Structure 1
Amino acid sequence: MTAFVPPPAVPSAQAQQLYDEDVADSGDVMNLSRVWAHRPELQEGLFDLLRTANAPLQLSMRERGILVTSAAAALGDSYCALAWGERLAQESTPAIAAAVLAGDTDDLTPRERALATWSRAVADDPNATTAAQVDDLRQAGWTDEEIVGITVFVALRLAFSTVNDALGVRPDAAYRSTAPAEVLGAVTWGRPIEEA
């Protein structure tokens, strides 16, 4: 079983579009898309908000990868950790991606290190964050407007992960061959990759 909720028996036009985009991007329909196919408009709305949060920030793919992998690791979400760990490895190196997944930020720039630390804090316990942590972001060069946008971005990614995790969505079998060995070795939490 790849999720607790099977895909719709007859996908709507919007769900089919979701499937078609997956096939165009990766050659197959992702397990998470089969679940979101029940309410594709919600996924689209969530991703619209993510794009809106990032628009003034102009976060690079590497910066987004750092934010998402850090949050996914803190949450214990294997799906996003693998997906974004793979992307981060492409934007940096597999070793850096694995290190970020493990909470090691030594090879990141000060701005990136601040992102990773903040993302983990937001995912781990948002009620335990401190003014000093926000000051660390400022000292790394992030403005207050950017800090709010970054926090919203992380929170929306956590919402996406939470839905996938709660509904039992397992990472796609393809990650066994597409994700670097270092990333596969770093992701020791969450739901297991589906069987091939």
Structure 2
Amino acid sequence: MTIIRTIPENEAVGEVAEIYADDVESLGYVPTHTKAMAMNPAAYGAFQALIRSVAKPLGLRRYELVTLAAARGTRSQHCRLAHGAKSLKLFDEEQLERIARDYTGAGLTDAEVEMMRFAEQVGRDAATMTEADSQRLRDAGFTDQEIVDIAIAASARVYYGSALQALAVDVDTPPTLGEPLRAALVDGL
């Protein structure tokens, strides 16, 4: 449980109220992670702009796969559960469970598996990465911009998940996640 006193929904005004309203519109509720990060609306907005700048060129499928893998590397339940719920728009529950437990045998393309492997390593220990790690993405067919966007997307997830973990923010389980998928997302860490 975090010691951060977040702004209650009924007291939110200005930018914070807008941030909360966006979550209510898209998710049906305001997760605890949004409330914590909305304590600095400018930083929250900058993060969202960064995500949009890489998610659009990567495409939603690739972006969500990178996010799930980087969150796996950082062991972020917050991000795995939140993006697991978002990924239900892209994958059926059975495939998403397989991706959460072992993406290498989940029916993804070889390029997607390599991309997830790279993103997971960014989340786990980017300091140990070498040119060979990026070369594997190139060998899988990714362009220079795609390689940079994958690295940025994974690194952004490391930032967000690490901030939530550092603040001991409570982990929400999105109501759209069934128990088997929730377990796969959490146990797959």
Regarding TM over 0.5, the answer is: yes
What per-residue deviation string (whole Å, max 9, x for no partner) do you get for residues 111-165 of structure 1?
2111111101111111222332222111111012221121012111211111112
Q: How many residues align?
A: 185
1:62-73 to structure 2, matched below 5 A, reads 62-73=61-72
**2: CA distance between counterparts of 1:15 and 1:164?**
18
Quick one: structure 1 residues 134 and 37, their matched pair in 2 at CA, closer, same or farther if it must change by over 3 Å?
A: closer
Deviates more, 1:178-187 or 1:62-71: 178-187
Q: Are the equivalent residues in 1 in contact too, given 2:58–2:146 (CA < 8 A)?
A: no
What per-residue deviation string (whole Å, max 9, x for no partner) do you get for residues 34-55 of structure 1?
1123111111011112222344
Quick one: structure 1 residues 84 and 132, their matched pair in 2 at CA, closer, same or farther if it must change by over 3 Å?
A: same
Q: Are the equivalent residues in 2 in contact too, given 1:70–1:116 (CA < 8 A)?
A: yes
What per-residue deviation string (whole Å, max 9, x for no partner) do you get for residues 86-131 of structure 1?
2223312223322332343221101211111110111111122233
Q: Which residue of 1 aligns with 2:79?
A: 80
Show structure 2 runs of 5+ residues with no match: none
**1: CA distance between counterparts of 2:36 and 2:88?**
27
Larger RCO: 1 or 2 (CA < 8 Å, sep 6+)? 2
Q: Which residue of 1 aligns with 2:187?
A: 188
**2: CA distance between counterparts of 1:27 and 1:14?**
18
Q: Are the equivalent residues in 1 in contact too, given 2:68–2:79 (CA < 8 A)?
A: yes
**1: CA distance between counterparts of 2:145 and 2:34?**
32
Q: Are the equivalent residues in 1 in contact too, given 2:16–2:41 (CA < 8 A)?
A: yes
Q: Are the equivalent residues in 2 in contact too, given 1:6–1:34 (CA < 8 A)?
A: no
Q: Are the equivalent residues in 2 in contact too, given 1:53–1:152 (CA < 8 A)?
A: yes
Q: Offset of 1:189 from its aligned partner?
A: 7.6
Q: Are the equivalent residues in 2 in contact too, given 1:88–1:97 (CA < 8 A)?
A: yes
Deviates more, 1:101-110 or 1:144-153: 101-110
Q: Percent identity?
A: 24
Residue 179 (str. 1) matches residue 177 (str. 2): yes
What per-residue deviation string (whole Å, max 9, x for no partner) do you get for residues 153-190 of structure 1?
211121111111211122224x2x41133321111388
Q: Which residue of 2 aligns with 1:167?
A: 167
- TM-score by length of structure 1 reads 0.84
1:7-156 to structure 2, matched below 5 A, reads 7-8=6-7, 10-55=11-56, 58-106=57-105, 107-156=107-156
Q: Are the equivalent residues in 2 in contact too, given 1:50–1:153 (CA < 8 A)?
A: yes
Quick one: structure 1 residues 125 and 74, their matched pair in 2 at CA, closer, same or farther if it must change by over 3 Å?
A: same
Show structure 1 runs of 5+ residues with no match: 191-196
- TM-score by length of structure 2 reads 0.87
Runs of 4+ in 1 over 6 A off after TM superposition: none
Structure that is richer in helix per residue: 2
